Amino acid sequence: MIVTSEQMEKQYKEFLLILKRGNQEMDFEKIDKAWEFSKKKHADQKRFTGDPYASHTLEVARTLATWEMDTSSIVAGFLHDTVEDANVSIEEISKNFGEDVANIVSGVTKVSNLRLRGSNDEIFVENLRKMFLSMAKDLRVVIVKLADRLHNMQTLYAVPLAKQKRIAQETLEIFAPLAERLSMGQVKGELEDLAFPYVYPEDYDRVKKLSENQYKKAKQIIKKMKRALLTALAKEKIRPKIQTREKNIYSLWRKLTRPDINWDFTKIHDIVALRIIVDDVKECYTALGVVHASYKPVPYLGVSDFIAQPKPNGYQSIHTKVIGPDEKIVEVQIRTHKMHEQAEYGIAAHWHLSMIKSKSGITSEDIEEGKQNIVKGNKFKWVNQLAQWQKDIKDSKEFLEAVKFDALNNRNFAFSPHGDVYDLPVGATPVDFAYAVHTDLGSHIQSAIINGKIVPLDYKIKSGDVVKIIKTKNKRKPTRDWLNFVKTTTAKREINKELRK
Ligand code: MN
């Protein structure tokens, strides 16, 4: 069904309602102007679906509105393809909508021109570099890009076959991990599930078929638990929102193919999880007590308290595995409404970048020259790190490794004895940990104690490990064999530097 212009105007009105419900002040005049501009410039263009092109820009803006992005981002959403596809100049955008919008559109246009997959490694790396550079300049560029990618994936069925797989693969390898790193969990899952059937069609069919019954069974069990828990919680004067969360099919597949699971569904406890959303932190712990009084926690699988110790990407919740009806193990997640919003929409929901930028008075040139980064705070330190690397690392291969292995890969979270969290790639060792804490600690490693026990320096850190580095009195030179087991780029670079001395 191709959308008509009357329907489009109706959708625009609905979009305005989303904005009015948000808690930010928006410049509606500018937004109306952007919508008119987009319709005019894309007037004779169509999407592969046959829809008028402007319907795509409206959909992107609508997504940005649900993420509660600021006026500039939403205006940029309407205009994001005008430079690339409608011959509008950045100057024209700047003149009509201001420099802030023009900068975002220019960033999105640059990122859109990049092919993030292709036969040539060198070009791929160069393009990744450029993307990370624009991210470090202004994260809104990537957020607009993610909204754009989401709609492109939703309409991928209409795109010529020859292009589908490349776009889907790029989504799985670059954009879904990026969304995850920006703590946009919901977006990550959606992108993965949209891309999955195009990239791995046979596996998709297989998991879909095998899992249908499993999802159904799990949902029935959760329904029973939901009723029982609502009653038990009401006795404690807690009126929570209880949701069921289905594991997205792509991550289910990834888990099923793990050697320790090997397609055994009985080993997967979170195919459907129960989520209890309450008003404040105190209620989270009361709710945890109620859950454990109603259903026994599973020994050894244990409780993870990411409220007391949030994950480095900011994720907060309590996770516990309990024995539910029919002896079935069920994962229960407990969090506040605020934590919930943060987990679903992450950076976009709570991080008003424009304010940070305008308050700090940092110019784009400062960022480009590496003098300043607008990305503040520990949570998004990795963005700064990438921008730094792209300056430092001249060799493309090394940069590619750094990106692939450090930034977008699976991560483990280790703790210092004081409870500071360190975000490390899978397989990282105490030596990586030491260099992550401080290069100086790296050159004073004597031995490592993990969870109270001495371990070898090539021990592979697991999530939740508490790592203590015992220091030597004097600085020591690392040994060459450390290079055989360290995983992080930082450790490798520092060790090489010391060895060259
Ligand atoms: Mn687009």
| Helix 99-113, helix 90-97: angle, nearest 10 | 150
Take residue 497 and report the two structure tokens written for it: 């530097």
Inter-residue long-range contacts of 10-14, CB under 8 Å, 24+ positions, other chains counted: 11/55, 11/58, 11/62, 12/58
Whole-number Å distance, alpha carbon 347 to ligand 1 midpoint, is 21
CB 34 within 8 A of CB 54: no
**pLDDT recorded at residue 350:** 43
| DSSP character at residue 454 | E
Please state the separation of Cα 69 from the chain's center in Å: 16
Question: In angstroms, rounded to a whole number, what is the distance separating the alpha carbons of residues 275 and 495?
Answer: 45
Whole-number Å distance, alpha carbon 29 to ligand 1 midpoint, is 23
Residue among 84, 344, 458, 498 flagged as catalytic? 84
Take residue 474 and report the two structure tokens written for it: 């004097």
Whole-number Å distance, alpha carbon 358 to ligand 1 midpoint, is 27
Residue 89, Cβ density class (10 Å: 0-12 exposed, 13-18 middle, ≥19 buried) = exposed
- Convert the pLDDT of each residue in 202-257 to its tens digit: 999 999 999 999 999 988 999 999 999 999 999 999 999 999 888 999 999 999 99
Beta bridge partners of 340: none
Whole-number Å distance, alpha carbon 142 to ligand 1 midpoint, is 13
Whole-number Å distance, alpha carbon 194 to ligand 1 midpoint, is 17
CB 250 within 8 A of CB 193: yes
User: Measuring CA to CA, which residue among 69, 36, 20, 100 is closest to residue 184?
Assistant: 69
For the question of residue 465 being annotated catalytic, the response is: no
What does each C-alpha distance from 368 to 100, 134, 277 come to in angstroms?
16, 9, 42
Residue among 85, 305, 366, 401 flagged as catalytic? 85
Q: Which residues of the chain have pLDDT under 50?
A: 119, 349-379, 393-394, 405
Whole-number Å distance, alpha carbon 392 to ligand 1 midpoint, is 32
**pLDDT recorded at residue 249:** 95
Whole-number Å distance, alpha carbon 144 to ligand 1 midpoint, is 9
Residue 193: what residue type? D
Total residues belonging to the chain: 501
Whole-number Å distance, alpha carbon 137 to ligand 1 midpoint, is 21
DSSP letter string over 117-160? SSS-HHHHHHHHHHHHHHHHH-HHHHHHHHHHHHHHHHTGGGS-
Take residue 252 and report the two structure tokens written for it: 């289910």
**pLDDT recorded at residue 366:** 40
Question: In angstroms, rounded to a whole number, what is the distance separating the alpha carbons of residues 87 and 220?
Answer: 54
At 81, give phi and psi (nearest 5°): -105, 5
HSE-up of residue 378 (Cα within 13 Å, Cβ side): 11
At 341, give phi and psi (nearest 5°): -60, -45
Whole-number Å distance, alpha carbon 396 to ligand 1 midpoint, is 28
User: Measuring CA to CA, which residue among 194, 73, 44, 61 is closest to residue 139?
Assistant: 73
DSSP letter string over 250-317? HHHHHHHTSTTTTT-GGG---SEEEEEEESSHHHHHHHHHHHHHHSPBPTTT-EEETTTS--TT----
**pLDDT recorded at residue 224:** 93
Question: In angstroms, rounded to a whole number, what is the distance separating the alpha carbons of residues 336 and 351?
Answer: 18
Question: In angstroms, rounded to a whole number, what is the distance separating the alpha carbons of residues 263 and 492?
Answer: 36
Whole-number Å distance, alpha carbon 124 to ligand 1 midpoint, is 20
Beta bridge partners of 272: 246
- Rounded CA Rg of the chain: 24
Instruction: Please tell me the pTM assigned to this model.
Output: 0.71
Whole-number Å distance, alpha carbon 150 to ligand 1 midpoint, is 10
Residue 191: what residue type? L
Whole-number Å distance, alpha carbon 83 to ligand 1 midpoint, is 11
**pLDDT recorded at residue 392:** 53
Whole-number Å distance, alpha carbon 42 to ligand 1 midpoint, is 12
Please state the separation of Cα 442 from the chain's center in Å: 29
Beta-carbon contacts of 366 under 8 Å, excluding residues fewer than 6 positions away, are 372
- Convert the pLDDT of each residue in 382-411 to its tens digit: 555 555 555 554 455 555 555 554 555 556
For the question of residue 395 being annotated catalytic, the response is: no
Question: In angstroms, rounded to a whole number, what is the distance separating the alpha carbons of residues 462 and 353?
Answer: 33
Neighbours of ion ligand 1 (CB under 5 A): 81, 148
